[in-house]
Amino acid sequence: MPGVCPATGRDNVAMKPSGSHSLHDAFRKANAATFLFSTSGAFFLLLPVYLQQSGSSPAQIGLVAGLLRASSLVARPLAGRLLDRFGRRPVTAAGAGLAIVGVLSLFAFPRVGIPFLVMRILQGIGTSLVDSGLGATVADLSPPAARARVFSIYTAWMNLASALMPGAGEAIARHGGFFSLFGAAALVLTGGLLMVERLPETAPPHHKEVEPLPSLIKGAAPLLLGGVVVGLAYGVLSVFVPVARIAAAPGRVGMFFFAYFVGLIGVRLAGGLGLEWVTRPRVLLPGYGLMAAGLAALPLGHSSILLVSVGLICGASHGILMPVIYALLLFGVPRDRRGWAVALLAAAFDLGNVVGVVGLGLAAEGLGYRGIFALAAVAVAAGAATAHWWGRR
């Protein structure tokens, strides 16, 4: 559906693939690629467990996870510039290649040290290029009026892998060791790279005069703060729940992530298939409240019922928040700035991850894991209130 932004008067029509590529075929390939890349990412949710079993401290675990996310964060401006200048497909493929090199390096550098950390930086940069490239491709393909729904379906495939594959990865690591898991991650990344090569190029063929980047950032600041809040919560949950006492029993790590992504995928499918209130801006504040409540509940016990309940609650809130933020951010953004806009939102999410895993990882040395879950709940509530107040102004 073509459209014109009422604020700028700029054409906001979705880019359509050319040649033999149909729109539906392009979406199918983008969904398949993101499923494969997300499968590899889901396997790496078990990296904190590998580090813990290798003798790493909570601060070291937070450092490694934070370095992955920090390198991804720092690479986001580069990703935005490259995507808008050189196109979506070549930049995404280059990112996949870097990620494959980073994963395979674990066979050469299995312990935390300078080479290990350098390779995590490389892996984070590759992940940044892949995420931003696929997100920009979907933004180009989707009609503006249906962007939240399209994003919901696209990310449902992303998070389906995140729901199913941590349990599969846990089984692989238990029976074949962590290096079998790392080999499987490299294999699915290769499959994702092959799928990216079959995607149409959706970037505009030439550049027009576009909105200055500082103006884009200023207008988007409340939404970007919302992305930081969601990233902080996800960083804390994905890194520290697997090594906390509540998830210590065999199978509980997979159980938590399964519940988290069932909640997330369920909400996104509901929005993508027509439950419109899930994709409207007014759901933002209740979504933030759910996320803070889930984090606050984690220190209250050690039962599997509590673990699964928190996973469902926090996953559902994540599923509600990001499609609405994504759609609001991209409304009225010209095609030559979509790569930047997607990269900025991903950078905000990464920034929240870094603050969560590094800052709260250090806090865990004194507070313990239960203490940092409570602290994270306070941080999410404060950040959400600020984003809501700022956005209304």
**What does the pLDDT read at residue 44?**
83
**What does the pLDDT read at residue 367?**
73
CATH fold of 23-200+212-392: Growth Hormone; Chain: A; (1.20.1250)
**What does the pLDDT read at residue 294?**
92
Residues of the chain with pLDDT under 50: 1-21, 209
**What does the pLDDT read at residue 305?**
92
Cα→Cα distances 190→98, 100, 197, 351, Å: 11, 7, 11, 27
Domain ranges of the chain: 23-200+212-392
How far apart, in whole angstroms, are the C-alpha atoms of residue 288 and residue 388?
Answer: 10
**What does the pLDDT read at residue 149?**
76
**What does the pLDDT read at residue 302?**
84
How far apart, in whole angstroms, are the C-alpha atoms of residue 73 and residue 203?
Answer: 22
**What does the pLDDT read at residue 19?**
42
**What does the pLDDT read at residue 242?**
83
- The H helix count followed by the E strand count for the chain is 13, 0
Single-letter residue type at 293: A
DSSP of 189-223, one letter per residue?
HHHHHHHHTTSPP-S-SS------HHHHHHHHHHH
Is the Cβ–Cβ distance between 15 and 140 less than 8 Å?
yes
**What does the pLDDT read at residue 208?**
53
**What does the pLDDT read at residue 261?**
82
In Å, how far from its chain's centre is CA 239? 14
In Å, how far from its chain's centre is CA 344? 12
